[in-house]
Structures are given as C-alpha cells and as structure tokens.
Amino acid sequence: MAGILRNDWNHVLENETEKTYFHELQEFLENEYRTEEVFPEKQNIFNALNSTPYNEVKVVLLGQDPYHGRGQAQGLSFSVGKDVRIPPSLKNIYRELHDDIGCGIPDHGNLSKWSEQGVLLLNTVLTVREGQAHSHKGQGWETFTDKVIELLNNRENPLVFMLWGRPAQEKLKLIDSSRHFVIQSPHPSPFSARKGFFGSKPFSRANEWLKENGGEEIDWCIE
C-alpha cells in the first residue's frame, strides 16, 4: 500500500508507512480484502491523498469512515460516483450548500471538483466492511490519519479544518486553532444533521477565511 501514494504525500508520509503499526494494518487489510467484502476498492484507499497533494491543501473536510454500501465508497469522504444514488448524508450536505451559498442541488454525488481545488476529502478511517459502519475502527487507521493532520497542522500556510462528527472532532487536539481556522459541527447524517449541521454555514465561512488570509476561495458549486 505504501507505494500507492503518487504525489508529495509519498515523501512526507515515508517514515509513517515504515512503522510497525502500519505494517500490522497492512496485514489486517490483506486478510480483510481476501475474506470479506471491503470498501473502497484497494486501489482507491488513498484516493483523498492522491487527489489533493500535501502542498495544495486549503481545506480539510474530515468525516468518519467510508460509505459501507456496495458501489458507494471511492476513497473521498462523502463522495460517490456519478452513477451512484446520492447517500442521505450527501443530500444533507447539498441542502446546506444551497442554503449557505445558493448552489443548485446536483443530480450526482461526485465531489472530485472539490478535491481538485485543494479540499482534502479525508475520513478518520479509510476502509470498512460492507454493511458494517466503523468495522475497521481501532486497527491503525486513526494513528495514520493523526499523522496526516499533524503534518498539515505543521505546514507553513494555515488552512481550514472542517470537523464533521465526533470521530473527526477527536482530531482537534492535533490542530493549532490559533493558526488554522476550525469549523466543527455534528455529522451531516440524518441522525444528527438537525442538531447543528444545518445552519452551520461551513462553505461561506471557509471561503471568507481563505479570502481574508490571502488564499483562493473554493468554488463549492457542483455542476
């Protein structure tokens, strides 16, 4: 897996992928992919990092773990392929996007437009068994994504961290909020979106901060 990182993440995470816990994670995943139905497909596990190079990240949009329905997860948090039915969490994201900055509601769930502009669509855990949310929790992914957040926190140019849901918010301790802009809210799932995700205006707030700090704003609207 370590060799699958195809940009500057390969260099900055080089030491991490040589650690004992990561080798144990690799062994666990080899067995899981051999004996269970696991998402996303192996080649898409690191899609978020490969789609948004370390030095180009402007916004980190942090979720929990991948969609666990067949054909959904593609290695970008909250995103699905254009031919896949839009999941409820993403429908709620689109609703907030519309209410916040007036974007039209897309008819597909592919968020790669965001990742291409510097939005790192990361989950705290990067794999999952079919139909079993959080089934790969505690196997080492949290340590790996802790390192990703630490590296971004240490970067010279400050950025926006969107922490959606409790697992994402556990990363707050790794972020210097005096330098970076942190937006926390409940997860956009149907179970929690009404508890503070709706009305949180993450997209306009992120753009406002980027603009004030000399950064380029994100075009959040999906065609």
**Residue 126's closest CA among 111, 147, 113, 140?**
140
**Residue 114's closest CA among 167, 76, 81?**
76
- Cβ partners under 8 Å of residue 84, min gap 6: 71, 72, 108, 109
| Given 8, 65, 99, 146, the catalytic residue | 65
CA–centroid distance for 32 within its chain? 22
Structure tokens at 72: 């959904």
65 noted as active-site residue? yes
CB atoms within 10 A of CB 24: 12
- Cβ partners under 8 Å of residue 75, min gap 6: 40, 44, 45, 46, 47, 48, 66, 126
Q: Could you identify the residue written with the tokens 């949290």?
A: 142
Q: Strand, helix or coil at 77?
A: coil
Catalytic machinery residues? 65
